[in-house]
Amino acid sequence: MVGDQLVVPLGRGKARLSARVRTSEIERARQAAGLGRDSENRFEPAPWAAWRASLYYAPLKPSKGIHLRFLLGDGEGLAILASGRWPLAWQVLSWQQDNKHEVLLQAFRLLQLHATRRLGLGGIEHVSVQGNNHLSGGWDALAEAIERPVQHVDGPSYEPEMVAFGLALGALAPKEETIDLAASLRDEPPLYKLVPWGEVSFGVALFLCMFLVMSHHAASLRGELAETTSRIAHVEWAKDLQIAKLKSQAAALEREVTPLEKFMERQFTFSRAFASVAEVMPEKTWLVVAEGKDLLWEKNPNKALGEHYLLLDTGVPNTSGDTTPPEINETVRRLERDSYLGRVLPRAKLVDVTWRQEGGNGFTVFTVLLKPKK
Protein backbone atom coordinates (compact mmCIF):
# COMPACT_ATOMS: atom_id res chain seq x y z
CA MET A 1 0.00 0.00 0.00
CA VAL A 2 1.16 3.51 -0.78
CA GLY A 3 -0.44 6.84 -0.13
CA ASP A 4 -0.06 10.48 0.66
CA GLN A 5 -1.07 12.99 3.32
CA LEU A 6 -2.02 16.64 3.20
CA VAL A 7 -2.63 19.09 6.05
CA VAL A 8 -5.35 21.62 5.26
CA PRO A 9 -6.92 24.48 7.25
CA LEU A 10 -10.20 23.61 8.91
CA GLY A 11 -11.97 26.34 10.84
CA ARG A 12 -9.56 27.64 13.47
CA GLY A 13 -7.48 24.49 13.31
CA LYS A 14 -6.10 22.06 10.76
CA ALA A 15 -6.99 18.60 9.48
CA ARG A 16 -4.74 15.87 8.12
CA LEU A 17 -6.14 14.26 4.97
CA SER A 18 -4.80 10.90 3.84
CA ALA A 19 -5.49 8.42 1.07
CA ARG A 20 -4.01 4.97 0.31
CA VAL A 21 -4.04 2.61 -2.65
CA ARG A 22 -2.49 -0.71 -3.63
CA THR A 23 0.88 -0.41 -5.31
CA SER A 24 -0.23 -2.76 -8.06
CA GLU A 25 -2.99 -0.38 -9.09
CA ILE A 26 -0.49 2.48 -9.43
CA GLU A 27 1.76 0.27 -11.56
CA ARG A 28 -1.14 -0.76 -13.81
CA ALA A 29 -2.09 2.89 -14.27
CA ARG A 30 1.50 3.75 -15.18
CA GLN A 31 1.75 0.97 -17.70
CA ALA A 32 -1.57 1.92 -19.25
CA ALA A 33 -0.40 5.52 -19.62
CA GLY A 34 3.13 4.56 -20.72
CA LEU A 35 4.79 6.31 -17.77
CA GLY A 36 8.03 5.28 -16.07
CA ARG A 37 8.85 5.31 -12.36
CA ASP A 38 10.70 8.59 -12.76
CA SER A 39 7.62 10.29 -14.14
CA GLU A 40 6.50 13.36 -12.21
CA ASN A 41 2.84 12.91 -13.10
CA ARG A 42 0.47 13.00 -10.15
CA PHE A 43 -1.90 10.16 -9.34
CA GLU A 44 -4.96 11.58 -7.61
CA PRO A 45 -7.90 9.68 -6.12
CA ALA A 46 -10.87 9.73 -8.47
CA PRO A 47 -13.17 11.34 -5.85
CA TRP A 48 -10.65 14.18 -5.43
CA ALA A 49 -10.69 14.89 -9.16
CA ALA A 50 -14.49 14.60 -9.28
CA TRP A 51 -14.75 17.11 -6.44
CA ARG A 52 -12.57 19.59 -8.37
CA ALA A 53 -14.86 19.27 -11.38
CA SER A 54 -17.95 19.62 -9.19
CA LEU A 55 -16.69 22.92 -7.76
CA TYR A 56 -15.93 24.13 -11.27
CA TYR A 57 -19.60 23.78 -12.21
CA ALA A 58 -21.12 24.80 -8.87
CA PRO A 59 -19.00 26.42 -6.13
CA LEU A 60 -20.19 26.00 -2.57
CA LYS A 61 -22.80 28.47 -1.41
CA PRO A 62 -22.28 29.64 1.23
CA SER A 63 -18.53 29.23 0.98
CA LYS A 64 -18.11 28.67 4.73
CA GLY A 65 -19.41 25.83 6.84
CA ILE A 66 -19.39 22.04 6.50
CA HIS A 67 -21.00 20.78 3.29
CA LEU A 68 -22.15 17.40 2.05
CA ARG A 69 -22.56 17.11 -1.70
CA PHE A 70 -23.99 14.12 -3.52
CA LEU A 71 -22.50 13.59 -7.00
CA LEU A 72 -24.99 11.22 -8.59
CA GLY A 73 -24.86 9.23 -11.77
CA ASP A 74 -26.73 6.23 -13.11
CA GLY A 75 -26.70 3.74 -10.22
CA GLU A 76 -23.48 5.08 -8.70
CA GLY A 77 -22.09 8.23 -7.25
CA LEU A 78 -20.15 9.92 -4.46
CA ALA A 79 -21.02 11.56 -1.17
CA ILE A 80 -18.30 14.12 -0.36
CA LEU A 81 -17.86 15.86 2.99
CA ALA A 82 -16.13 19.19 2.35
CA SER A 83 -15.08 22.50 3.83
CA GLY A 84 -14.23 25.24 1.37
CA ARG A 85 -12.33 23.72 -1.53
CA TRP A 86 -11.05 20.76 0.48
CA PRO A 87 -12.75 17.35 0.40
CA LEU A 88 -12.48 16.03 3.96
CA ALA A 89 -13.94 12.56 3.38
CA TRP A 90 -16.00 10.72 0.81
CA GLN A 91 -18.03 7.57 0.36
CA VAL A 92 -18.52 5.70 -2.88
CA LEU A 93 -22.23 5.05 -3.50
CA SER A 94 -23.98 2.30 -5.39
CA TRP A 95 -27.72 1.62 -5.39
CA GLN A 96 -30.53 -0.23 -7.02
CA GLN A 97 -33.57 1.52 -8.34
CA ASP A 98 -35.61 0.97 -5.18
CA ASN A 99 -33.03 1.70 -2.43
CA LYS A 100 -31.46 4.98 -3.54
CA HIS A 101 -33.13 6.85 -0.68
CA GLU A 102 -31.68 4.48 1.93
CA VAL A 103 -28.18 4.65 0.39
CA LEU A 104 -28.14 8.46 0.47
CA LEU A 105 -29.50 8.55 4.01
CA GLN A 106 -26.91 6.05 5.21
CA ALA A 107 -24.09 8.05 3.55
CA PHE A 108 -25.29 11.20 5.27
CA ARG A 109 -25.31 9.52 8.68
CA LEU A 110 -21.86 7.97 8.24
CA LEU A 111 -20.25 11.23 7.12
CA GLN A 112 -22.11 13.14 9.84
CA LEU A 113 -20.62 10.74 12.38
CA HIS A 114 -17.16 11.17 10.82
CA ALA A 115 -17.45 14.97 10.99
CA THR A 116 -18.42 15.03 14.65
CA ARG A 117 -16.39 12.11 16.05
CA ARG A 118 -13.24 12.04 13.95
CA LEU A 119 -12.87 15.68 12.88
CA GLY A 120 -14.40 17.33 15.95
CA LEU A 121 -16.73 19.50 13.88
CA GLY A 122 -20.23 20.66 14.65
CA GLY A 123 -21.74 18.48 11.96
CA ILE A 124 -23.01 18.89 8.42
CA GLU A 125 -24.63 22.27 7.84
CA HIS A 126 -25.46 22.27 4.11
CA VAL A 127 -26.51 19.50 1.72
CA SER A 128 -26.52 19.76 -2.07
CA VAL A 129 -27.13 17.41 -5.00
CA GLN A 130 -25.41 17.50 -8.39
CA GLY A 131 -26.04 15.29 -11.42
CA ASN A 132 -28.84 12.72 -11.73
CA ASN A 133 -31.32 14.10 -9.22
CA HIS A 134 -34.10 11.58 -9.81
CA LEU A 135 -35.26 10.10 -6.51
CA SER A 136 -38.36 7.99 -6.12
CA GLY A 137 -40.46 9.41 -3.35
CA GLY A 138 -38.99 12.87 -3.88
CA TRP A 139 -36.25 14.83 -2.17
CA ASP A 140 -38.55 16.26 0.45
CA ALA A 141 -38.62 12.90 2.20
CA LEU A 142 -34.81 12.82 2.35
CA ALA A 143 -34.68 16.43 3.55
CA GLU A 144 -37.13 15.55 6.30
CA ALA A 145 -35.09 12.50 7.30
CA ILE A 146 -31.79 14.40 7.55
CA GLU A 147 -33.52 17.50 8.96
CA ARG A 148 -31.81 19.80 6.48
CA PRO A 149 -32.86 21.38 3.20
CA VAL A 150 -31.42 19.82 0.06
CA GLN A 151 -30.10 22.22 -2.58
CA HIS A 152 -29.93 21.20 -6.25
CA VAL A 153 -26.93 22.65 -8.12
CA ASP A 154 -25.82 22.70 -11.75
CA GLY A 155 -23.38 20.17 -13.11
CA PRO A 156 -23.09 16.91 -15.05
CA SER A 157 -23.87 13.46 -13.74
CA TYR A 158 -21.16 11.48 -12.01
CA GLU A 159 -19.42 9.52 -14.78
CA PRO A 160 -15.81 8.74 -15.80
CA GLU A 161 -15.88 11.84 -18.00
CA MET A 162 -16.39 14.00 -14.90
CA VAL A 163 -13.34 12.44 -13.23
CA ALA A 164 -11.26 12.98 -16.38
CA PHE A 165 -12.36 16.61 -16.52
CA GLY A 166 -11.32 17.11 -12.90
CA LEU A 167 -7.90 15.58 -13.60
CA ALA A 168 -7.47 17.91 -16.58
CA LEU A 169 -8.28 20.90 -14.38
CA GLY A 170 -5.65 19.73 -11.91
CA ALA A 171 -3.07 19.44 -14.70
CA LEU A 172 -3.58 23.14 -15.43
CA ALA A 173 -2.44 23.91 -11.88
CA PRO A 174 0.65 21.72 -11.36
CA LYS A 175 1.62 23.50 -8.12
CA GLU A 176 -1.79 23.09 -6.50
CA GLU A 177 -1.78 21.27 -3.17
CA THR A 178 -3.36 17.87 -3.62
CA ILE A 179 -3.13 14.19 -2.71
CA ASP A 180 -0.54 12.36 -4.85
CA LEU A 181 -0.83 8.61 -4.35
CA ALA A 182 2.45 7.90 -6.17
CA ALA A 183 4.57 10.39 -4.23
CA SER A 184 6.35 7.69 -2.21
CA LEU A 185 7.11 5.56 -5.29
CA ARG A 186 9.17 8.12 -7.14
CA ASP A 187 12.94 7.96 -7.11
CA GLU A 188 14.67 10.69 -5.17
CA PRO A 189 15.29 13.60 -7.56
CA PRO A 190 18.90 14.64 -8.19
CA LEU A 191 20.27 17.44 -6.08
CA TYR A 192 20.39 19.96 -8.91
CA LYS A 193 16.62 19.63 -9.35
CA LEU A 194 16.05 20.47 -5.71
CA VAL A 195 17.96 23.73 -5.93
CA PRO A 196 15.61 26.71 -6.47
CA TRP A 197 17.68 28.23 -9.24
CA GLY A 198 15.32 31.15 -9.71
CA GLU A 199 15.57 32.19 -6.07
CA VAL A 200 19.35 31.64 -6.10
CA SER A 201 19.77 33.84 -9.18
CA PHE A 202 17.64 36.54 -7.63
CA GLY A 203 19.68 36.40 -4.41
CA VAL A 204 22.99 36.65 -6.30
CA ALA A 205 21.74 39.60 -8.35
CA LEU A 206 20.49 41.32 -5.20
CA PHE A 207 23.86 40.74 -3.49
CA LEU A 208 25.74 42.24 -6.44
CA CYS A 209 23.50 45.31 -6.46
CA MET A 210 23.97 45.80 -2.73
CA PHE A 211 27.73 45.34 -3.11
CA LEU A 212 27.91 48.03 -5.80
CA VAL A 213 25.77 50.44 -3.79
CA MET A 214 27.79 49.90 -0.61
CA SER A 215 31.08 50.25 -2.52
CA HIS A 216 29.93 53.58 -3.93
CA HIS A 217 28.82 54.71 -0.47
CA ALA A 218 32.15 53.66 1.05
CA ALA A 219 34.05 55.60 -1.61
CA SER A 220 31.91 58.66 -0.88
CA LEU A 221 32.62 58.36 2.84
CA ARG A 222 36.35 58.09 2.19
CA GLY A 223 36.19 61.29 0.13
CA GLU A 224 34.32 63.11 2.88
CA LEU A 225 36.86 61.89 5.43
CA ALA A 226 39.74 63.22 3.34
CA GLU A 227 38.02 66.59 2.92
CA THR A 228 37.31 66.86 6.65
CA THR A 229 40.90 65.95 7.49
CA SER A 230 42.12 68.66 5.12
CA ARG A 231 39.87 71.25 6.74
CA ILE A 232 41.10 70.31 10.20
CA ALA A 233 44.69 70.75 9.06
CA HIS A 234 43.93 74.35 8.01
CA VAL A 235 42.75 75.38 11.48
CA GLU A 236 45.82 74.44 13.48
CA TRP A 237 45.68 77.87 15.12
CA ALA A 238 42.54 76.83 17.00
CA LYS A 239 43.95 73.56 18.29
CA ASP A 240 45.12 74.95 21.65
CA LEU A 241 42.10 77.20 22.25
CA GLN A 242 39.59 76.15 24.83
CA ILE A 243 35.92 75.85 23.98
CA ALA A 244 34.90 78.38 26.63
CA LYS A 245 37.34 80.95 25.27
CA LEU A 246 36.11 80.44 21.72
CA LYS A 247 32.52 80.91 22.86
CA SER A 248 33.49 84.10 24.69
CA GLN A 249 35.18 85.51 21.60
CA ALA A 250 32.20 84.60 19.44
CA ALA A 251 29.83 86.36 21.85
CA ALA A 252 32.00 89.49 21.85
CA LEU A 253 32.04 89.56 18.06
CA GLU A 254 28.30 89.14 17.98
CA ARG A 255 27.81 92.10 20.35
CA GLU A 256 29.87 94.27 18.03
CA VAL A 257 28.30 93.10 14.81
CA THR A 258 24.65 93.13 15.90
CA PRO A 259 24.35 96.96 16.23
CA LEU A 260 26.07 97.38 12.89
CA GLU A 261 23.60 95.01 11.25
CA LYS A 262 20.71 96.94 12.74
CA PHE A 263 22.25 100.22 11.55
CA MET A 264 22.62 98.91 7.99
CA GLU A 265 19.11 97.48 7.88
CA ARG A 266 17.14 100.40 9.34
CA GLN A 267 15.58 103.09 7.16
CA PHE A 268 16.17 106.11 9.45
CA THR A 269 18.55 108.98 8.55
CA PHE A 270 18.81 112.36 10.29
CA SER A 271 19.20 114.25 7.02
CA ARG A 272 15.92 112.87 5.71
CA ALA A 273 14.23 113.52 9.07
CA PHE A 274 15.30 117.20 9.25
CA ALA A 275 14.23 117.69 5.63
CA SER A 276 10.76 116.41 6.52
CA VAL A 277 10.63 118.72 9.57
CA ALA A 278 11.43 121.69 7.37
CA GLU A 279 8.67 120.72 4.93
CA VAL A 280 5.87 120.41 7.50
CA MET A 281 6.58 123.37 9.81
CA PRO A 282 3.82 126.03 9.70
CA GLU A 283 4.72 129.37 8.08
CA LYS A 284 4.84 131.48 11.26
CA THR A 285 6.99 129.02 13.22
CA TRP A 286 10.76 128.77 13.33
CA LEU A 287 13.27 126.35 14.81
CA VAL A 288 15.08 127.67 17.84
CA VAL A 289 17.08 124.54 18.63
CA ALA A 290 16.99 121.17 16.82
CA GLU A 291 18.69 118.22 18.46
CA GLY A 292 18.96 114.70 17.12
CA LYS A 293 20.71 111.83 18.78
CA ASP A 294 21.37 108.21 17.86
CA LEU A 295 21.56 105.87 20.86
CA LEU A 296 22.18 102.73 18.82
CA TRP A 297 25.81 102.55 19.95
CA GLU A 298 25.13 103.26 23.60
CA LYS A 299 25.72 100.34 25.94
CA ASN A 300 22.94 101.44 28.28
CA PRO A 301 20.60 103.64 26.21
CA ASN A 302 17.63 105.48 27.63
CA LYS A 303 14.78 103.08 26.85
CA ALA A 304 12.24 105.89 27.14
CA LEU A 305 13.80 107.67 24.15
CA GLY A 306 14.37 104.63 21.94
CA GLU A 307 17.32 104.05 19.63
CA HIS A 308 17.11 107.60 18.15
CA TYR A 309 15.06 110.76 18.59
CA LEU A 310 14.60 114.37 17.52
CA LEU A 311 14.06 117.20 20.01
CA LEU A 312 12.71 120.37 18.41
CA ASP A 313 12.53 123.74 20.23
CA THR A 314 10.19 125.78 18.05
CA GLY A 315 9.14 129.43 18.26
CA VAL A 316 5.86 131.01 17.26
CA PRO A 317 4.62 134.65 17.66
CA ASN A 318 2.20 135.27 20.51
CA THR A 319 0.62 138.72 20.42
CA SER A 320 -2.15 138.12 22.95
CA GLY A 321 -0.02 136.53 25.64
CA ASP A 322 -3.04 134.83 27.14
CA THR A 323 -4.03 132.16 24.63
CA THR A 324 -2.06 129.25 23.27
CA PRO A 325 -1.06 129.82 19.67
CA PRO A 326 -2.84 127.37 17.32
CA GLU A 327 0.43 126.72 15.53
CA ILE A 328 1.56 124.51 18.43
CA ASN A 329 -1.09 121.83 17.88
CA GLU A 330 -0.84 122.25 14.13
CA THR A 331 2.91 121.61 14.28
CA VAL A 332 2.43 118.40 16.29
CA ARG A 333 -0.27 117.13 13.91
CA ARG A 334 1.83 117.85 10.82
CA LEU A 335 4.81 116.03 12.28
CA GLU A 336 2.64 112.98 13.05
CA ARG A 337 1.05 112.94 9.59
CA ASP A 338 4.25 113.24 7.59
CA SER A 339 4.78 110.08 5.54
CA TYR A 340 8.44 109.65 6.46
CA LEU A 341 8.33 110.83 10.07
CA GLY A 342 5.16 108.85 10.67
CA ARG A 343 7.09 105.70 9.73
CA VAL A 344 10.43 106.22 11.51
CA LEU A 345 9.47 108.60 14.36
CA PRO A 346 5.73 108.18 14.69
CA ARG A 347 5.43 109.39 18.28
CA ALA A 348 5.31 113.23 18.37
CA LYS A 349 4.91 114.52 21.92
CA LEU A 350 4.66 118.08 23.20
CA VAL A 351 6.97 118.15 26.22
CA ASP A 352 7.35 121.86 27.12
CA VAL A 353 5.80 125.30 26.45
CA THR A 354 7.26 128.67 27.58
CA TRP A 355 6.29 132.29 26.92
CA ARG A 356 9.02 134.80 26.20
CA GLN A 357 9.31 138.48 25.29
CA GLU A 358 12.14 140.19 23.50
CA GLY A 359 12.32 143.75 22.10
CA GLY A 360 8.72 144.37 23.02
CA ASN A 361 7.50 141.35 21.04
CA GLY A 362 6.06 138.28 22.72
CA PHE A 363 6.51 134.75 21.42
CA THR A 364 6.04 131.20 22.61
CA VAL A 365 8.70 128.51 22.58
CA PHE A 366 7.42 124.91 22.63
CA THR A 367 9.39 121.68 22.59
CA VAL A 368 8.34 118.59 20.58
CA LEU A 369 9.95 115.16 21.06
CA LEU A 370 9.88 112.73 18.11
CA LYS A 371 10.78 109.11 18.85
CA PRO A 372 10.07 105.58 17.60
CA LYS A 373 7.24 103.40 18.82
CA LYS A 374 9.44 101.28 21.03
Q: Which domains does the chain have, with CATH numbers?
A: 2-186 (3.30.420.40), 270-371 (3.30.980)
**Whole-prediction pTM value?**
0.51
* Contact in structure between 41 and 185 (CB atoms under 8 Å): no
Question: Mean of the pLDDT values across residues 275-296?
Answer: 87
Distance, CA of 68 to CA of 283 (rounded, Å): 115
Q: Which residues contact 4 (CB under 8 A, 6 or more apart)?
A: 18, 19, 179, 180, 181, 183, 184
Write the CA distances from 293 to 70, 152, 349, integer angstroms. Answer: 110, 107, 16
Structure confidence by residue, pLDDT tens digits, 199-220? 888 888 988 998 898 988 888 8
Number of C-alpha atoms within 13 angstroms, CB side, residue 160? Answer: 0
- Range with the largest mean pLDDT of 173-177, 191-195, 198-202, 313-317: 313-317
Average pLDDT, rounded, for the chain: 84
Question: Mean of the pLDDT values across residues 317-334?
Answer: 82
Distance, CA of 43 to CA of 189 (rounded, Å): 18
User: Residue 274, Cβ neighbours under 10 Å: how many?
Assistant: 15
Predicted local confidence at residue 186, as pLDDT:
67
Q: Which residues contact 71 (CB under 8 A, 6 or more apart)?
A: 50, 51, 54, 77, 78, 79, 80, 130, 131, 155, 158, 162
Distance, CA of 28 to CA of 30 (rounded, Å): 5
Structure confidence by residue, pLDDT tens digits, 98-143? 899 999 999 999 999 999 988 888 889 999 999 988 888 889 999 9
Let me know how long the chain is: 374
Predicted local confidence at residue 182, as pLDDT:
78
